[in-house]
Amino acid sequence: MSLLMVGCNHRAAGVEVREQLAFNGSQVGEALDRWQQTLPETELVLISTCNRVELYAATAGGEALGPDELAAAMLDYHGVARDSVNGQLTKLADRAVIAHLFHVAASLDSMVVGEPQILAQVKEAYQAAHELGTAGPVLHELFQTALHAARRVHNETDLHRHRVSIPSVAIADFASRVFERFDDKRVLVLGAGEMAEETLRYLKDAGARNIHVVNRNEQRGRELAEAWAGAYHPWNDLWEQLIAADLVIGATAAAEPVVGAAQFAERVAPRRHQRPLFMLDLAVPRDFDPAVGEEIGVYLYSLDDLQVACERNRRERAKALPAAEKILENEVDRYLAAAHHRAAAPVITGLRRNMEAPKQAELTRLFNKLPDLDDAARTEIERFADRLVNKLLHPPMESLRDASRDGPPHGLLDALRRLFHLDD
């Protein structure tokens, strides 16, 4: 079998190309089904995220399918012209495919190195292909090994322990200092932009369930609230919502603070009775007057606080990269060694079978000529025959093992097949 990968990612392709080639959930199944009809002997898995679109294929060695044909299948599905993606498609084969997938699953190829979301996305992509029947035994082994390698990186290095995106640091490194749990906390979001949405994603992962959105644009606010199973409140309910909240995210596009210190002290603080309030200001300019953080029970953090932590975490992550790379290199070598061994297994089985038949025939002939042999003598002769066969098989077996360390020993396998008539 040979492995191929064709696709685009944030490193080599602009967002315009990635958008043209992206597949939504229903399109993934439709495309895999279509390609299965046109490439019936090819195993396929399709990964499509906001930062990458990659089609993995395993083909029989004798097939004519190459990276250009695989790229054509992807482009033709979307009706994208070849010249519009010149130089922005990545094409890999065999070992390079294995190494790339392992780096993708372990988040070493992500825009934010070490962020954990990609592992779940790789797993979901494989599961979708498996359910559709387009991922056969070769891609099954490849993707399962990739997931195993990613888990080793996660468990054996500090790469994932140092978060580097603003929202992840805000929740995991700052909010967790104030609250031990989030499932019983009331979350209030001011604004409905990308930063607010990404922070909600981390809060949801941390267990937050009680989510409320206040936004000047009612339609956008309702859309964000509904997307996270929360409740929308009009802008004039801001002060009442601040009184009820446990955790507040400021992410508006206002030109000046929407929560002033004097207003907070007069309208909010007396009715909170010093209950802990975590305030996360992600807006530029700021949504919360810095003096609000001086109130008793208020824990206010700004983008400046978070960016310092992010930079520190980036430096710590960089220290973990060599160890992660070493783990992945080791896993690639182990995968290839196992694959090469599997390729040689039928020849090894054939060699043993071809020698076993004449051995048994000669033993039968000998025992017929020597009918007076006792059981002990017969056993010793059988052991001699077994040892002789093993010694005769040892040189070709050793040659196969040695050759498999550097790659599939196709030439040696073909020679052994011809010499010992193993074609059947």
Residues with a catalytic annotation lie at: 50
- Please report how many Cα atoms fall inside a 13 Å half-sphere around the Cα of residue 158, on the Cβ side: 10
CA dihedral (33, 36, 38, 43) positive or negative? positive
Shortest CA distance to 214 belongs to which of 246, 187, 175, 184?
187
> What percent helix, strand, coil does the chain show, rounded to 5?
60, 15, 25
* DSSP designation for 172: I
- Tell me how far CA of residue 15 lies from CA of 12, 18, 105, 129, 167, in angstroms: 10, 5, 21, 25, 22
Helices (H), 133-175: 137-156, 166-169
Q: Who contacts 211 (Cβ-Cβ below 8 Å, separation ≥6)?
A: 187, 189, 200, 203, 225, 228, 229, 230, 231
Given strand 247-250, what is the order of strands in its sheet? 231-233, 210-214, 186-190, 247-250, 277-281, 298-302
Q: What are the φ/ψ torsions at residue 9 (nearest 5 degrees)? A: -145, 180
Q: For residues 102-136, b (16+ Cβ closer than 10 Å) or e, as one string?
A: bbbbbbbbbebbbbbebbebbbebbebbeebebbb
Cis peptide before 40 (omega within 30 of 0): no
Contact 48, 22 (CB under 8 A): yes
Asked if 419 contacts 396 with a C-beta cutoff of 8 angstroms, the reply is no
**Tokens 């089609």 sit at which residue?**
55
